[in-house]
Structure 1
């Protein structure tokens, strides 16, 4: 956890509060400084009590998967320290479109309260007393803390009924031509497009070859009956060319592009998962529960998740355990 936090601080440095310290008078100003873009100013703010001690918050960074980790990191760090958790409106507004019972508030109720920037530290390791606040850098992933309460965070990320209904429609569409019963749905996440360049720059590696996904599919087909693979990808055409020959493979977004929210709901609705890399696929597998076969990529957050989650295995680990 410390290594991952350090890397994020190193590559994505904390916003330099000193340059705007004179302008950050209230938490309303402070919330704006945490967001990548200007957020909509509220016409009215609820005037609740001001924090008695410190708070935990985070800067916005990345897209849906990253922002789920940012939210979860604040949630877990607050549980660990007893500090009050808050996430900026720019994170909550996106997550509220997916989830129906998020408990970490925005700064709405304390927007009028004065903020003391001098009392903020950047990590749990630097936190020494309850009057100190913690502001995590963007892209922070507090894996060890979050997964300590994995079932609770899964409950926190309860997908709303509208998206769940749409995801179930996709699953039913995938089996409409079959006559079998008691299907086992395996969500397959295939990340390509922009991530191919990222893998080369950050990990000096190439994207997963089709053999990875095919081998993982064979593992699930051997273990379960009536397996149907639901492929979610940012490159559905590539997936159709590589796996479309299999009668039990359904490529979502092949004809009409789904929203990221619906794709996540689809992955979460499956029984098991095949996952390559990226925070989006991580959350799809975590929310699905069940077994996960993941791509063996060193120094990636998935490697640490695989160490902590007993139901996560690489293909190599699975083969060693089933000789």
Structure 2
């Protein structure tokens, strides 16, 4: 009887030992910082978010590319809007305290590739945070496939976008219909401070040339116009953009609009990072407004000489 009790106790201890080790192994794989804070306290490059959705996407994609290039790990806070929009990997989650204490890195130009923003001097056992806009595709060009895999919209967003496009294109029912998303941003770009800084608005003439480019190549075709729904901007758009092949999109959450843009065959963009990312994700032919910054303005100095660091290769620039 004693031998059986002793054996039972040993078996019970062995059972609990296996369970405890399994739990610790799981925590190590899933959340190493829970057991080993030093894994999080060094070699992280935190993403610093500011601006709108398009800005956030540049900041994440470029920081990701820089971190991969430098053999670092991306650090992203769970409060980021990207987690509610895309299937961004949760393995990069990090506590706020680590980013708050990280050493700061800054760029020289927000719309141009800067080698110094990639190859900054690193100290041992330090985290860093890139407090920059990082609006250049060159930062993540070697990891583009990985970025596209992460910038896949959540299923509920995709469903809303598909329903939206279906309702807009239903009157044009055709198996060969070509869809062209047109993103027109005006709004805040008309503000005095932005105009003074060098922002210029896309003109009606530019849009006419962009529409002609696609009308000459595709039929049947429909242009799906995404713009700010305020009365003034909508009036301007409907005056300069018209035709039986044009439809205007009603107001939607920004992530639904961008997802719908990405589902179209081709794109026409005016200004702003929102249109940039919608076009990038769409993968079709993109026409962009090349005169986005007034010559000799402070904004123009934010770009590279020919602006090729900002505009994606293969896109077609028109004025």
TMscore range, shorter length: 0.7 to 0.9
In structure 2, relative to structure 1, the CA distance for the partners of 1:138 and 1:100 (3 Å cut) is same
Partner of 1:215: 209
**Structure of higher CA gyration radius:** 2
Partner of 2:74: 85
Q: Given the alignment of the two structures, is residue 314 of structure 1 paired with residue 309 of structure 2, yes or no?
A: no
Superposed CA RMSD = 2.9
**Cα distance in 2 for residues equivalent to 1:306 and 1:115:** 29
**Cα distance in 2 for residues equivalent to 1:191 and 1:113:** 37
SS in 2 for 1:89: coil
CA contact (8 A) 1:102 1:157 kept: no
Partner of 2:245: 248
SS in 2 for 1:141: coil
**Cα distance in 2 for residues equivalent to 1:243 and 1:113:** 50
Partner of 2:156: 162
**Cα distance in 1 for residues equivalent to 2:269 and 2:99:** 44
Q: Given the alignment of the two structures, is residue 304 of structure 1 paired with residue 316 of structure 2, yes or no?
A: no
* Match of residue 64, structure 2, among 44, 60, 75: 75
Partner of 2:12: none
In structure 2, relative to structure 1, the CA distance for the partners of 1:145 and 1:237 (3 Å cut) is same
Q: Given the alignment of the two structures, is residue 96 of structure 1 paired with residue 90 of structure 2, yes or no?
A: no
**Cα distance in 2 for residues equivalent to 1:238 and 1:51:** 57
**Cα distance in 2 for residues equivalent to 1:47 and 1:54:** 17
**Cα distance in 1 for residues equivalent to 2:150 and 2:303:** 21
Q: Given the alignment of the two structures, is residue 237 of structure 1 paired with residue 240 of structure 2, yes or no?
A: no
Partner of 1:291: 285
CA contact (8 A) 2:82 2:88 kept: no
CA contact (8 A) 2:104 2:130 kept: no
After TM superposition, give the deviation of residue 308 of structure 1 in Å: 4.5
After TM superposition, give the deviation of residue 214 of structure 1 in Å: 1.8
Deviating more after overlay: 282-291 vs 132-141: 132-141
**Cα distance in 2 for residues equivalent to 1:114 and 1:97:** 21
* Match of residue 46, structure 2, among 31, 38, 57: 57
In the alignment, structure 1 segments of 5+ residues that lack a partner are 1-44, 317-323
| Alignment TM-score, normalising by the size of structure 1 | 0.72
In structure 2, relative to structure 1, the CA distance for the partners of 1:179 and 1:70 (3 Å cut) is closer
* Match of residue 66, structure 1, among 45, 55, 59: 55
| Alignment TM-score, normalising by the size of structure 2 | 0.72
* Match of residue 137, structure 1, among 115, 131, 136: 131
After TM superposition, give the deviation of residue 225 of structure 1 in Å: 2.3
In structure 2, relative to structure 1, the CA distance for the partners of 1:104 and 1:308 (3 Å cut) is farther
Deviation string for 1:8-35 (max 9, x for gaps)? xxxxxxxxxxxxxxxxxxxxxxxxxxxx
CA contact (8 A) 1:55 1:134 kept: yes
SS in 1 for 2:119: coil
CA contact (8 A) 1:121 1:127 kept: no
